[in-house]
Chain A
Amino acid sequence: MTPIDRILFGDNQFFGVNHMSEEKARSQQMRFRDTESIIKVLDNAYDRGIRSFMCTTHDEIGKIADHVAANPDRYEGFKFLPGMPYAHKYNNMVGELGVIDTIKAVAPGGVMEAMVRGAKSAVGRDVGQLMRMLVDAEMARFANVDTPVVFLQNVVADLLLGLGNYQIFADFVQYVNEKYEAEAGFFSMNMPAMVDALESVDITNPIIACNYNKIGFRMSGGIEAYDRKLEEKPVRCVAMSVLASGAIPPAEALEWVCERPLIESIVFGASSDANISSTVSLITEFDSTRASAA
């Protein structure tokens, strides 16, 4: 079991994702239109002691991975924790091509035909094969960097969770373990339900990245249900959206999360060295207060 770093650096801010303001998202997108400007911020994060980059499989990230691979001395110990698939790419394809033609487009030769022909068992087998091919396609750009954890992105994970097909989760874990010698993780907006679903297919102590914030933003079932689940079952929980896209002041938000010892890691995004530095110091400070109190 690879320990996950206490502090992880996220990438939403680089790709025009902001849950609270389109204007802010747009100005961030302008600022990070070239790879170099992203690398500069990553360098800041690295220099502040951050070693884990939790990222999407956006095309731009491939260039970052190349840069890190090309400068091993500069980025000693630097790790990528990719989440896949990159949802918008497929969402736009499904809108344009439809579900079936999207599968045809992303799945090379024969798989689709086999699925259409498919008897019940064949479809089941081929869905597994499709999953493995998609993972391979998304992982190709990380071939030369360290990827200790590979995440299944939340729209897909939560869709499967809702559909009730938990076997794919088990297949994903197994494939990522065997092929990439990595641990599998799951993004989810429904952490308590996800923990139970994973347990039902014998995945215990799962790595789950979920929203965890003082106002309960996008925590399905509410804060209490989340706290209770962590007390009930072992989960390696990565807290995200800790600031709820800026709705909670940083110190207040981070103190609240740091008071929860069952949260293993915190992922945050920032665009400036000042924000990276203050976030890291705040987490470190709250952690040491808790440690000395304990």
Chain B
Amino acid sequence: MHRIGLVGVGKMGLSHLALVRAHPELDCVAVCDSQAFMLAGVRSQVGVDTYKSFDTMIEEANLDAVIISTPTSSHFNLAKTALENDLSVFVEKPLTLTTAQSRELAELAERKGLANQVGYHNRFIGTFRETARLVEAGAIGRVHHIDGRAFGQVVTKADGGGRTWRAKKTEGGGCLHDYACHVIDLMNFVAGPPDEVVSGRLGQVHSTDVEDSVYALFGYSDGAVGTLETNWSDESYRKMSTSVTIYGTHGKIFADRQECRLYLKPGHSFEKFEDGWNIRYITELQEPVDFYIRGEEYSSQIDAFAAAIGGNPSPQAGTFTTAAQADHIVEEIARLHETGPIVADPTTQAEPAGTKASKGIFRKLKDRV
């Protein structure tokens, strides 16, 4: 039985708490949160020891590992303290707000030989796993384009989300850190990380302090191109919808939460898949779990973490190192949004700034001159 301390009882924290409590190899012995109300609720309703101070919890609770599900801005200090105290660490995504911090944590965890994992649950969805397997096996030949997308209705009103940390840039809010990082990690999972982020743009639909949409272009070492499009202000989606399309010289694969569609060009049948369209559904692709709350992937990622604490890390689960790769891309997108294009079309520059958008670009270029 591994002794777990959980930090942060919000939406994800509650779900992790329930999964850990139900897990045969994990025992949640301590919960830490800054809100007295949540702690009182956990103490009285769940019967777990609670702490207002993270340091006291680590000192007193004799833990093997911590699960950190607090606002992103606090991840670095919490995870670092835990690792320095020889505890394995699971952190909600994204790992931290800077590449430097994420890399520091990755190196520390590696040096100490401690289990380390980030809550990128798409890695545990059967359709995405099948996609990664097919790409790796060469089913669609050489990959030349990877397209990742996510849409959902997180912020749908002008002041929507204004009250949570997700609406505050300084705490790690915004579509880039909350939504796009999932897609970036998924693209890295199925096709490997890109060599460079060519361009990045952040858009606002309703929010004022953070972005509601993210667009980016990636370049891979073998010449492949990646495109990213995410928007968390799209009410047409009932819940977060993430998808990835991989284009190869022999065919293409589209995958979302429900299905994995494989198209193979004539003469390129692969394994049991024939030329033309093949569809495999989540119902046949998903590994069953022992305890389910709201998606097998949330249970599976906790299973993987339990196995990693026990010395059997799953290669597909991802680590602080792979999460740092995602954080680097996130950071680059934000940087490229700020700096804009290096060279602008001279004809655009010469034109009087008509639209708001072109005015913005114009001003940026002028500022730099």
Q: Which residues of A contact B (CB under 8 A)?
A: 16-22, 25, 88, 91-92, 94-101, 115-116, 118, 120-121, 123-124, 127, 155, 158-165, 168, 189-190, 193, 215-222, 244-245, 247
Contacts and interface: CB of A to CB of B under 8 A. Distances in A.
B160 A96 contact: yes
B151 to A, nearest CB: 11
A17 B257 CA distance: 13
9 contacts: A95-B164, A96-B160, A101-B163, A118-B40, A124-B45, A158-B294, A215-B283, A220-B289, A245-B283
A155 B10 CA distance: 16
A193 B22 contact: yes
Contacts of B293: 155, 158-159, 162, 189
A123 B41 contact: yes
Contacts of B294: 155, 158
Contacts of B60: none
B187 interface: no
Contacts of A155: 293-294
B108 interface: no
B264 interface: no
A159 B14 contact: yes
Contact of B45 (A92, A165, A217, A222): A165
A20 B283 contact: yes
Nearest to A100: B37
B37 to A, nearest CB: 5
Nearest to A115: B37
Contact of A164 (B15, B47, B256, B286): B47
Contact of B284 (A22, A127, A247): A247
Contacts of A97: 163-164
Contact of A127 (B45, B239, B258, B296): B45
B256 A215 contact: no
B291 interface: yes
A20 B259 contact: yes
A168 B46 CA distance: 11
A74 B305 CA distance: 56
Nearest to B35: A100
B141 interface: no
A37 B40 CA distance: 47
A217 B283 contact: yes
Given A96-B155, A116-B36, A218 B45 contact: no
B38 A100 contact: yes
Contact of A190 (B35, B46, B292): B292
B11 interface: yes
Contacts of A164: 21, 46-47
B154 A16 contact: no
B281 A18 contact: no
A219 B286 CA distance: 12
Contacts of A118: 37, 40
A99 B14 contact: yes
Given A100-B35, A164-B21, A120 B40 contact: yes
Given A164-B21, A247-B283, A95 B40 contact: no
B18 A162 contact: yes
Interface string B1-28: 0000000011100110111011000000
B239 to A, nearest CB: 7
Contacts of B41: 115, 123, 127
B291 A220 contact: yes
Shortest beta-carbon contacts, A-B, top 4: A162-B18, A247-B283, A189-B292, A162-B22
B44 interface: yes
Nearest to A189: B292
